[in-house]
């Protein structure tokens, strides 16, 4: 392909830009950036510094990429493909320092990131992932290959998602969660146990869901996790009672996937004993700056 670099593009002298790259006229390329052939950088984009945009990458308009990020790296697999796929990033995304997003394995396929997403420091999106709009990946969050993330999902810091898992829209994943099964939409997971602990009520309100929609989700949630029905019975009742509306998304989600579904946490996790002064030593310790003994 023949590249096209707008005459008004602000390119730092230390940046290395292929003549086969397509860069919008009002983009800004900071110091020590590398933009390879076969890439597209949209209008209003800004590469702050030391950003690598590899072949096969499309960066949507008004996106900002910070220091050390690598877009379009080859898939991390043992047998590297001869003709890998692409990485397609939507509009108005913010990719903070040292994010990595990789191309799809096979030619004709794409790893995709939607619009208005925020990827914080060190977030990783592996090959063939499909990430929706308004998604937040907090510091160190990692997606394995072929993971699907629904719109407005938020993954806590250092959470890790196993390959081929799906996370529904408006899910909140707690920090350090190890996700090895699909998480249905609208729920909140606990980082300590990686289990569901209820609906993501804060996220639902922020997304503008009506009171009735939230009530429907509560009813569907109780049906799924509290009625003791079999999977097929649950699916049938969901389809009968919630044929339309947001609650119908539960049944749709449960009909897909291949890794099973995360379960609900029915009792509080075991917690560490509190460390406190022994009762018979409180008076003595009040007069001493350093307690002699702590009791569990």
Query: Is 139 domain-assigned?
Result: yes
Look at the chain and report how many structural domains it folds into. Answer: 1
Residue 227 annotated to the active site:
no
Collapsing DSSP to helix, strand or coil, 70 comes out as: strand
Q: Which of 115, 116, 128, 190 is catalytic?
A: 128
Query: Is 73 domain-assigned?
Result: yes
Residue 145 annotated to the active site:
yes
* In the predicted structure, residue 276 carries a pLDDT above the cut 80: no
Q: pLDDT digit string (tens) for 159-183?
A: 999 999 999 999 999 999 999 999 9
What pTM does this model have? 0.88
Query: Is 25 domain-assigned?
Result: yes
For residue 266, the model assigns a pLDDT of 79
Domain containing residue 90: CATH number:
2.160.10.10
Average pLDDT of the residues in 34-55: 98
For residue 3, the model assigns a pLDDT of 65
Evaluate the CA torsion angle 110, 147, 134, 54 in order and state its sign. Answer: negative
H-state helical runs in 95-230:
201-206, 211-226
Q: Which of 98, 102, 124, 127 is catalytic?
A: 127
In terms of phi and psi (left: phi > 0; alpha: psi -120 to 50; beta: otherwise), the region of 231 is: alpha
In terms of phi and psi (left: phi > 0; alpha: psi -120 to 50; beta: otherwise), the region of 208 is: left
Query: Is 166 domain-assigned?
Result: yes
Q: Which of 145, 150, 157, 203 is catalytic?
A: 145
Query: Is 262 domain-assigned?
Result: no
CA dist 59 and 28 (Å) reads 13
Residue 166 domain boundaries: 4-209
Query: Is 142 domain-assigned?
Result: yes
Helices (H) and strands (E) in the chain, counts: 5, 29
Residue 190 annotated to the active site:
no
Q: pLDDT digit string (tens) for 94-126?
A: 999 999 999 999 999 999 999 999 999 999 999
Q: pLDDT digit string (tens) for 193-244?
A: 999 999 999 999 999 999 999 999 999 999 999 999 999 999 999 999 999 9
Query: Is 242 domain-assigned?
Result: no
Query: Is 53 domain-assigned?
Result: yes
């Amino acid at each position: 392909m023949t590249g096209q670099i707008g005459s008004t593009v602000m390119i730092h002298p230390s940046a290395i830009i292929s003549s086969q790259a397509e860069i919008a006229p009002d983009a800004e390329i900071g110091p020590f950036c590398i933009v390879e052939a076969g890439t597209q950088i949209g209008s209003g984009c800004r590469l702050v510094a030391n950003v690598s945009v590899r072949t096969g990458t499309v960066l949507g308009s008004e996106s900002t990429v910070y220091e050390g990020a690598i877009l379009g790296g080859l898939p991390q697999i043992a047998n590297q493909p001869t003709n890998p796929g692409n990485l397609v990033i939507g509009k108005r995304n913010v990719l903070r320092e040292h994010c990595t997003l990789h191309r799809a394995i096979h030619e004709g396929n794409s790893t995709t990131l939607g619009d208005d997403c925020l990827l914080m420091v060190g977030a990783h999106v592996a090959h063939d992932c499909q990430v929706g709009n308004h998604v937040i990946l907090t510091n160190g969050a990692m997606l394995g290959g072929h993971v699907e993330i629904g719109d407005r999902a938020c993954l806590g810091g250092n959470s890790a998602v196993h390959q081929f898992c799906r996370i529904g829209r408006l899910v909140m994943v707690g920090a350090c969660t190890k996700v090895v099964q699909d998480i249905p939409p609208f729920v909140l997971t606990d980082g300590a146990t990686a289990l569901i602990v209820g609906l993501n009520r804060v996220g639902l309100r922020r997304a503008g869901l009506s009171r009735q929609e939230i009530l429907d989700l509560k009813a569907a949630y109780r049906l799924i996790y509290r009625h003791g029905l079999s999977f097929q019975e649950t699916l049938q009742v969901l389809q009968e009672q919630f044929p339309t509306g947001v609650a119908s998304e539960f049944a749709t989600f449960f009909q897909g996937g291949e890794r099973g579904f995360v379960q609900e946490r029915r009792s509080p996790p075991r917690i560490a004993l509190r460390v406190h002064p022994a009762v018979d030593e409180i008076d003595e310790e009040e007069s001493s700056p350093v307690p002699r003994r702590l009791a569990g």
